[in-house]
Structure 1
Amino acid sequence: MIADLRAMWRLLGLSPWRVAVAVAWGVLALGSGLGLAALAAWLIARAWEMPPVLHLSVAVTAVRALGISRGLARYLERLATHDVALRAMTTARTTVYRTLAHSDIWRWRDRTAEAIEGGSAGPGGAGVDSSARWGDLRRGDLLARVGADIDDLGAVVVRVFVPVAVAVILSVAAVGLIATISVTAAAVLAAALAVSGVAAPWLSAVAGRDAERAVRRDRGEFTAEALTVLDHAPELRVAGRLDATLAVAEQASTRAVAAEDSAASRSAWAAAATPLSIGISALGALLVGIAAYGPTGGLPGGMTPMALTILVLVPLSAFESVATLPAAATTLTTSRAALHRLRSLATTPPPSQHSPTRADSSVGAPGAGHRLPLALPAGQRIAVVGASGAGKTTLLMSWAGLFDTPRAGVTFFAEDAHLFGTSILENLRVARGDLTEDEAESALRTVGLGAWLETLPQGVHTALTAGAAAVSGGQRRRLLLARAIISPADTLLLDEPTEHLSAAEGEQLLRDLLDSDSGLVAPRRRVVVVTHQLPADHRADTVVTVDRTGACRVERRSLSGQ
């Protein structure tokens, strides 16, 4: 537990000073409530004795001040706490993205895909080496890690670290205040606070642990299957597997809902411990007060009416600080599970422990080629060809430096790059933030989207409300190509830019991309294109062929005779 808390603190990159400020505001907010309860109790009892009004003026003013400071301090505590949490989540996401960028996840994913295509993996990928856990990590799993898991980890600041620190400080203060009146009542309050602040959260954590694991497992399964359906619905329908995939997703969702209901039911029983503790504490304080009340009855040297009122009413306010701890325990359980999943991203076996993959395997006879990855060959127009699964995308990502240090001036444009639910202009500005409207229109016409642009009611300001779903596959490819063309990169690495285009259109686009004189891309810029079908009359000066063993052959071509 302590080790996990330290790991969370490090991963989130928490600032002790900022956390201390958030805790201080929380203590001031709930401390104002505690002081308000004590002072109001004293004021009620003292006013019953009908002293001169001036004797009560200071107390009345203090009640108003505490009432105002309670709301103000609570607002400032929320600002400080969420500032810490949002900064921490940004740090955690940066760390996770950096880990992904420097890992060999894509090679492991390629290996798993190839194994499944080759029939070596049974259901669930049983035929794949168990050490290749990156290969079993689907897009839905990655989305859950960089999304929901980091959100859960960030919640530990708002719902665990700060509330627990505030609860400990306020509980000690409340017990100390009651102890000045009655040690016995203070002991009763301390015991009740322990039940509400320690036993109830522990019960909540234990009750929700198994349910949390089930919820996360099934929710991750649902996310993965849902993404599969969203990305590949046409292919699944053609293969006759769409209904089965939807059924798996629905079953996972049903199991997740059932597990959540079970966790909520058990947490409700744990939460009942807090009201029970409040009742016992109030009853105990009342009985102690009645027994000790004087001056003519009760214990020798009994207490005043004001002390009796404070003794009974203050415990009711003292439990406000510990009331959130059962929820904090549940959040901590969730955050620890998220932490373990995130830490798995950084624990892939070192290369020496990996089983050879096609991309890492030897290529046979000397002179047969190079092992992936090889250095980016010379040439201004380079074509990379080969069968599916041979490692062409891996090669481009290696040239872009996505497996180690990103290369300056070299940009990789993936075939499934994201289109955001905003305007066409803003989607293009992903590549260059200072892009003007005229430049955007020129780029769209250059890649063959001029006629489509003329039909749009607001031109480049037309919103793609559904992202990639708002355009056809061919239009999406051309939009991504326009994004690549307007980027400031000197070297463009284009992965399958002609997919979803007709054969004739695709061939012509490839000819233009691989021809320095076509005007599509400036001659000074280097263009590397991955494709399955290379036109016979292309003008690429270098062709890299990747075979199924991962071997690469580099062919330099002379264009002087063409």
Structure 2
Amino acid sequence: GLLISAVAAPALAAWHAARAEAATGRARAELRDAVVETVDGIEELALRGGEALDVPDRRSRALARREARAARAAGAAAALSLVGWGLAVTGTAVVLQRTGGISPEWAAVLLLAVVALGEPVATLPEAAIARRRAAGARSRLAALRTPRPPATQTPPESAGVTVRGLVAGWDPGRRPALRGVDLDLPPGARVAVLGPSGGGKSTLAAVLAGLLDPREGTVRRPAPTVLVGDESDHVFASTVRENLRLANPAATDPELTAALDRVGLGPWLAGLPGGLDTRLGAGGGTISGGQRRRLATARAVLAGPRLLLLDEPTEGLDEAGAAALMADLLDAAGDCTVLLFTHRTEGLDRVDATYRLSDGRLVGCDVRTPVG
């Protein structure tokens, strides 16, 4: 009976958990994705109507079915454990009754010992399931973990930017996007890196921002370094003040207003009904793309960066809007070092030097050269 309760039942629970864990984990991830995507696109989906809003519900029901099957299997394992415990207690009582030479006191002690064993043994199936789920969680975390470079490649801080022999990429199993990149930026320099979309500009920006570790080479950069790009210009469903104070919680209202003036948002702020207390929609749904990038730059300015990275700041804007935005952003940068990553030509007349990413390396180019 104890073998059934302590060995067979936990083994059955672990075997079924191993089969169900991967599928249940995928179902949970699919449900989370559906909820996030639905919330992000709720207005567009509402206009489409039909079954567009039913995806989270369908995935929720699918997850519920998988979890119900897992619960039934766990219940069966727990029931088997209790059956084994009952057999052990009953069998011990029968054997003690038929066996002579044991005093009633010791018989009672032995029977109570078997009864007491049942409580910890009954938890073994649940422990086996938890152990299997923990192993699944470790494997999922291991799949997400980015290999870190050797300690000798830890980048020391520098007043300017110095990059030597940089090799970097997001996927360890594929050819790196950057191969042997060398770059020198003196403090206060304004440099543009040109190249088509997908050419490695965002990878270089991520390395310089500390978001991606290099595979080889050294990177020296000042601190703080701030990146302004598609992922960093998120607007939260809160007030203008709180969106800006993410960069500097101690900033006063005059400092927030000055930062908005520096990026050309002074007239916009003056026209808001609540000023700094005006609430913005989630993801910047109540402001234009250009305003969102200016707001992100104002937030970056409040952090007091020594190196400002601008990743495709004019994406999606017309030529006139892009030129005006670049003028305001570069003026707002003040004395800090600026590195601009773009495939467009607006603002290139305001930088000190330009480079082009070619075959994973930086090469010098003329500002007037069209970007292909």
TM-score scaled by length of structure 1: 0.49
- Structure having the larger proportion of residues in strand: 2
**Structure 1 residues 423 and 247 mapped into 2: Cα distance closer, same or farther (>3 Å)?**
closer
Number of positions where the alignment pairs a residue of Structure 1 with one of Structure 2: 338
The equivalent residue for 1:102 is none
**Structure 1 residues 259 and 421 mapped into 2: Cα distance closer, same or farther (>3 Å)?**
same
* Cα-to-partner distance string for 1:272-325 (whole Å, 9 max, x where unaligned): 123223333443454456x28xxxxx9456324xx7766656655543333332
Q: Is the 8 A contact 1:422 1:463 kept in 2?
A: yes
What aligned pairs does 1:356-435 form with structure 2 within 5 A after superposition? 356=175, 359-360=178-179, 373-378=181-186, 380-401=189-210, 402-404=212-214, 407-409=221-223, 410-417=225-232, 418-420=234-236, 424-435=240-251
Q: Secondary structure at the match of 2:256?
A: helix
Cα RMSD (Å): 4.4
* Shift, 1:329, TM fit: 1.3
* Shift, 1:420, TM fit: 4.8
* Shift, 1:492, TM fit: 0.3
2:124 pairs with one of 315, 325, 345 = 325
**Structure 1: how far apart are the matches of 2:50 and 2:361?**
39
* Shift, 1:270, TM fit: 1.0
Say if 2:82 is the partner of 1:275.
yes
**Structure 2: how far apart are the matches of 1:315 and 1:475?**
73
The equivalent residue for 2:136 is 337
The equivalent residue for 1:261 is 68
The equivalent residue for 2:162 is none
What aligned pairs does 1:79-98 form with structure 2 within 5 A after superposition? none
The equivalent residue for 2:333 is 521
Say if 2:258 is the partner of 1:442.
yes
**Structure 1 residues 206 and 472 mapped into 2: Cα distance closer, same or farther (>3 Å)?**
farther
Name the aligned partner's letter for residue 374 of structure 1: D
What aligned pairs does 1:308-323 form with structure 2 within 5 A after superposition? 315-323=114-122
Name the aligned partner's letter for residue 397 of structure 1: A
**Structure 1 residues 455 and 322 mapped into 2: Cα distance closer, same or farther (>3 Å)?**
farther
Q: Does 496-505 or 524-533 show the bigger shift? A: 496-505
**Structure 1 residues 268 and 301 mapped into 2: Cα distance closer, same or farther (>3 Å)?**
closer
1:302 pairs with one of 100, 103, 107 = 103
What aligned pairs does 1:156-195 form with structure 2 within 5 A after superposition? 191-192=1-2, 194-195=3-4
* Shift, 1:204, TM fit: 0.5
**Structure 2: how far apart are the matches of 1:446 and 1:333?**
55
The equivalent residue for 1:554 is 364
**Structure 2: how far apart are the matches of 1:303 and 1:209?**
46
* Shift, 1:510, TM fit: 0.2
The equivalent residue for 1:483 is 299
* Shift, 1:205, TM fit: 0.9
* Cα-to-partner distance string for 1:44-101 (whole Å, 9 max, x where unaligned): xxxxxxxxxxxxxxxxxxxxxxxxxxxxxxxxxxxxxxxxxxxxxxxxxxxxxxxxxx
* Cα-to-partner distance string for 1:368-394 (whole Å, 9 max, x where unaligned): xxx6x3314456222333322122212
* Shift, 1:413, TM fit: 2.9
Q: Is the 8 A contact 1:510 1:534 kept in 2?
A: no
Give the percent of matched residue pairs that are identical in Structure 1 and Structure 2: 34
* Cα-to-partner distance string for 1:152-194 (whole Å, 9 max, x where unaligned): xxxxxxxxxxxxxxxxxxxxxxxxxxxxxxxxxxxxxxx52x4
Name the aligned partner's letter for residue 270 of structure 1: A
TM-score scaled by length of structure 2: 0.70
**Structure 1 residues 319 and 204 mapped into 2: Cα distance closer, same or farther (>3 Å)?**
same
Q: Is the 8 A contact 2:178 2:204 kept in 1?
A: no
Gaps in structure 2 of 5+ consecutive residues: 150-166, 368-372
**Structure 1: how far apart are the matches of 2:281 and 2:36?**
19
Q: Is the 8 A contact 1:428 1:482 kept in 2?
A: yes
* Shift, 1:506, TM fit: 3.0
**Structure 2: how far apart are the matches of 1:499 and 1:234?**
23
Task: Name which one, 1 or 2, has greater alpha-carbon Rg.
Answer: 1
Name the aligned partner's letter for residue 328 of structure 2: D
Name the aligned partner's letter for residue 182 of structure 2: L
Gaps in structure 1 of 5+ consecutive residues: 1-190, 293-297, 361-370, 558-562
* Shift, 1:448, TM fit: 3.6
**Structure 1 residues 209 and 471 mapped into 2: Cα distance closer, same or farther (>3 Å)?**
farther
Q: Secondary structure at the match of 1:492?
A: strand
- Structure having the larger proportion of residues in helix: 1
Q: Secondary structure at the match of 2:82?
A: helix
**Structure 1 residues 274 and 468 mapped into 2: Cα distance closer, same or farther (>3 Å)?**
farther
Q: Secondary structure at the match of 1:375?
A: strand
